[in-house]
Structure 1
Amino acid sequence: MQEAELKLELSQSGARSLLKTNPFVSPPTILQQKSVYFDTNAWDLTKRGLSLRIRQSGNERIQTVKAGDGAAAGSFVREEWERPVTADAPVIDDPQIVALLAGAGPELAPLFEVHVTRHRWNVTAGEAQIEVCLDVGKVVAADREAPLCEIELERKAGQPAALFDLARKVDLITPARLGVLSKAERGYRLLAAAQGAVKASPAPLTSEMSAATAFARSAAVCLRQFRLNEMALSWSRDAEVLHQARVALRRLRSLFSICTSLFQDSRFDHLREELSWLAAETGQARNIDVLIGRARDEELAGRLKAMRGDAYRTLEATLSSARVRSLMIDIDEFISGSMADASAMPMHGRSARDFASTALDRLWKKVARGRRLIDADDAARHRLRIAAKKLRYAAEFFEPLFRSKIETKRHRRFIAAMAGLQDQLGDLNDLAVAPGMLSSLGLLGVAGTQDLFRAYDKAELLRRAAEAHDGLVDIKRFWRSR
């Protein structure tokens, strides 16, 4: 059967507040649960997007196999298979499960455990039936453990919107952040090296799916990348973590822009505006990180580092705000729940590959028209830089739809040429915005700032940019047969 749920992360104190308030009308059923997760030593199951656990609650043991693409953000839609077992040892006798595990069964061994106290409610919200489970406990792997505090809202009947309405009610009682990690993923992360910056990954797209489904999957990957880096920022002020969080926002904003024609929904423009606001809120800390990397004057570097602390504290306050929490839930609802609403998507049935080809052509024309770079002004070069960035992201989003041998070869060349052009346009933009950036930080004219961008030779950058642009225009487009 298919499982549809929304996951939220709470603090331990938040869980206590929720239990004290109990907005779910009836008293909860309280269960003590222990879940043992199995895989091979080479982690073959998780590499295939599978998980296998045996969960004990009282004297009952249930074995569950789940299959998913690993791209979901807070809302998870996965296939799952359950059966009762009598011991903490997998039973692999169902032909479908045998085929799914593809020979891994004999090598399965317990890798980690999850111990929780589960508070469970069955909630009626209009015509919807929702199972609410608040889990408080820990994940244990070898000699390591990590706390766990999350709430899962699983729709049993009714419309998906009811899940998100209930999530917002929870967030009014205690801060609730969109969850992106399954319990299985938490265990694997505990076994692995410390997690740092999370880079973009491809979405599981196929040429047979609709354009709207391709949008939903790609957007979910972007949202997940942002949330994983946002989580890392709560314990690390690593500049690369912030950079990748910003990359995720830029990719998501670009995807919304690329797919504008798919939607006639009043929420669409609001979400785009909120994403732009959030991206701007991350800009100050990122600018300071960049300047610190370039500063050679010791006094200036010290001043920048002091400013960095203030900028990151401001950013942390923003990321923990109700506005950002609400935005994450709103985006997840848009890309998961409303995808099935045909009235919001008049082009729902259009194939992903056909849509991608049209979108790439449109973006390509904007970039290809950007000739005479040397004679253009800064504003025109900035517009070209933005168009090139959207084209690059579109090429990355839609790459899984163009997987023939010749398309793959052309795509590789195309991305390399795009990267070269973006590097040059990025350096030119840095020169153009440097005075404004320094002024906003109160550093204009301060000793040492003249060296921050001195290495740039604008005439040489313009020559290289024009050369990179001409090279890109001459490359064959991977999404066209000719």
Structure 2
Amino acid sequence: MGLNTEIEIKLELLPEDLDRFAASGLLGEPARVESQRSVYFDTRARDLFQSGFTLRIRTVGSARTQTIKATGASASVFARPEWEQPLDSDEPVVDHTTPLAAQFDLEPGDLQAHFAVDVERTTWKVKQDGADVEVVLDRGLITAGTRQTAIGEIELELKDGAPEALFTLARRIEAIVPIRFGVMSKAERGFRLIDAEQMVFKAEPVELDREMRVAKSFRTVALACLRHHRLNEDVLRVRQNPEALHQARVALRRLRSAFSLYRDLLQDDESTRLKGELKWLAGVFGKARDVDVLLARASQPELVEWLKTARAARYREVFAALDDGRGRALMLDLHQWLHCGAYLSSPPAELHDRPVTDFAEAVLDRERRKLKKHGRALAKINDEERHEARKDAKKLRYAAEFFATLFDDKRGARRHKRFTAAMAALQDELGTLNDLVSAPNVLGEIGLEDHPDAGTLVVQANKDKLIDRAQAALDDVIDVKRFWR
């Protein structure tokens, strides 16, 4: 399987489902059960975490172990991503055997405890379809000062065998209790607990490097999109925050765009099916977002109440789509395909050994040509065709975001900044034009088309002037220098 020799997946459970899973007997008798306390250290300014490192001291019984991990971009610099050593005290040790001494100018006392993770860890050794899988259930609390948050997660780690076994086991667990794929480490959750609660998560940079092959770069992009979606899904479920819904929808849109951008790689039937399922889910989010946009414009009390009722109904549809059999199956199928799909083991011959930079340049050139062709005369085409140009613009912008780290030398970074600024201005203009065209349809869907005050919910602007502004913004995008060349 090449890329898939060692993988693990994390599943999150609701607190009320932890006991039900533990009591199910699905995995038989555990190999061990132990209490663990992990204290995470960093500088006051969190220099380690911001640079992609974590340092913890874990206590199990009377034994203490210090673990330093390098994650993200930092991991690629070192021959190994993790360093462990036994300790005799509760104070961290930073010496020449770790990467921290060379990476940071640390003095004694610079590191301080930020939070603690106390869990009961239950471990099983499981045989599944001939594979050896270690299953770990952690349940407990993360504590930072006076703040606490519950933790309940299952990690499945493949020790030997085919990675498909992990997902077979995940489906067996999902048949007992609802699961969601976890996207945050305990360290990340701890530092987020210290900060003010975050109400929305925007897309993070995608960490690609020039040594990657095309298949691995797609998986990296897709998993980044899924993380973006999951972070906002969690906020949305608790707060029903319109911006969290918007960003969760953007994440799905970015993921669908990734499927299109990598279409030369994704030639199997499963990728086609999954893209169709993502279109369905994004459509459910889109209908809720449409009402949020109208509600933000409403001021007349009767309209506000009407729209709040419509919004509540559409949010219920969103949660139903996420939680029903179709939505849950989509996430399981998608994760399994990303880790085990045919595109990884047998990509098209012309892409098998192609460097990702060459592929990225070709994709960016192709999407730029499409936008130039479809947007060369916005005033002379109809609304539907202008909408196609808007979709072209989104794909080009997402491609520019996905591939940014491949062209991040001084000149590339400078050009990328100008390019994305021009793309953002274009999307703003095309978005305003789209709102003008689409608002009447949304009003009709929710039964407000004949309301005497419905006109206040529609963008009040001269359509011809909007088209002219969009054309000028599109021309600016075509004129700006390409950061990938």
Offset at residue 132 of structure 1 (A): 0.6
Match of 2:50 in 1: 47
Match of 1:247 in 2: 250
| 3-state SS of paired residue (1:21) | coil
CA distance 1:7–1:462, shift in 2 (3 Å): same
CA distance 1:56–1:339, shift in 2 (3 Å): farther
Offset at residue 316 of structure 1 (A): 2.1
Offset at residue 454 of structure 1 (A): 4.6
- Residue type matched to 2:403 in 1? F
- Tell me if 1:83 matches 2:85: yes
- Residue type matched to 1:395 in 2? A
CA contact (8 A) 1:121 1:131 kept: yes
Number of aligned residues: 474
CA distance 1:98–1:51, shift in 2 (3 Å): closer
> Which of the residues 395, 416, 425 maps onto 1:420?
425
Offset at residue 238 of structure 1 (A): 1.4
1:219-238 to 2 correspondences below 5 Å: 219-238=222-241
> Which of the residues 350, 355, 359 maps onto 1:355?
359
1:76-225 to 2 correspondences below 5 Å: 79-99=81-101, 102-104=104-106, 106=108, 107-225=110-228
Q: TM-score, normalised by structure 1?
A: 0.93
| 3-state SS of paired residue (1:197) | coil
- Which moves more between the two structures, 468-477 or 357-366? 468-477
> Which of the residues 241, 245, 263 maps onto 1:260?
263
1:424-463 to 2 correspondences below 5 Å: 424-463=429-468
Offset at residue 340 of structure 1 (A): 8.3
Offset at residue 375 of structure 1 (A): 1.3
| 3-state SS of paired residue (1:217) | helix
Residues 329-370 of structure 1: CA distance to partner in whole angstroms, max 9, x if unpaired? 333333334488331454232111100110011111111112
Match of 2:369 in 1: 365
Residues 315-338 of structure 1: CA distance to partner in whole angstroms, max 9, x if unpaired? 223223343233223333333344
Q: Distance in 1 between matches of 2:281 and 2:459?
A: 31
RMSD: 2.2
> Which of the residues 275, 278, 285 maps onto 2:278?
275
Taking every aligned residue pair, what percent have the same amino acid on both sides?
A: 45
CA distance 1:98–1:238, shift in 2 (3 Å): closer
CA distance 1:99–1:163, shift in 2 (3 Å): farther
> Which of the residues 377, 387, 390 maps onto 1:382?
387
- Which moves more between the two structures, 175-184 or 433-442? 433-442
CA contact (8 A) 1:128 1:156 kept: yes
- Tell me if 1:59 matches 2:62: yes
CA contact (8 A) 1:212 1:339 kept: no
Offset at residue 28 of structure 1 (A): 4.8
- Residue type matched to 1:219 in 2? A
- Which moves more between the two structures, 47-56 or 413-422? 413-422
Match of 1:408 in 2: 413
Q: Distance in 2 between matches of 1:327 and 1:242?
A: 19
Residues 278-300 of structure 1: CA distance to partner in whole angstroms, max 9, x if unpaired? 10111222111100111132211
- Tell me if 1:311 matches 2:314: yes
Offset at residue 395 of structure 1 (A): 1.0
Residues 179-222 of structure 1: CA distance to partner in whole angstroms, max 9, x if unpaired? 01111111111111111100011111122322222222222211
- Residue type matched to 1:81 in 2? W
Q: Distance in 1 between matches of 2:317 and 2:457?
A: 25
Q: Distance in 1 between matches of 2:74 and 2:206?
A: 7
Offset at residue 11 of structure 1 (A): 1.5
CA contact (8 A) 2:138 2:154 kept: yes
- Residue type matched to 1:434 in 2? A
Q: Distance in 2 between matches of 1:16 and 1:432?
A: 52
- Residue type matched to 1:358 in 2? A
Q: Distance in 2 between matches of 1:344 and 1:164?
A: 22
Offset at residue 63 of structure 1 (A): 1.9
Match of 1:323 in 2: 326
| 3-state SS of paired residue (2:370) | helix
CA contact (8 A) 2:95 2:101 kept: no
> Which of the residues 15, 18, 22 maps onto 2:18?
15
CA contact (8 A) 1:138 1:148 kept: yes
| 3-state SS of paired residue (2:471) | helix
Q: Which runs of 5+ in 2 are unaligned?
A: none
CA contact (8 A) 1:435 1:444 kept: yes
- Residue type matched to 1:237 in 2? Q
- Residue type matched to 1:349 in 2? D
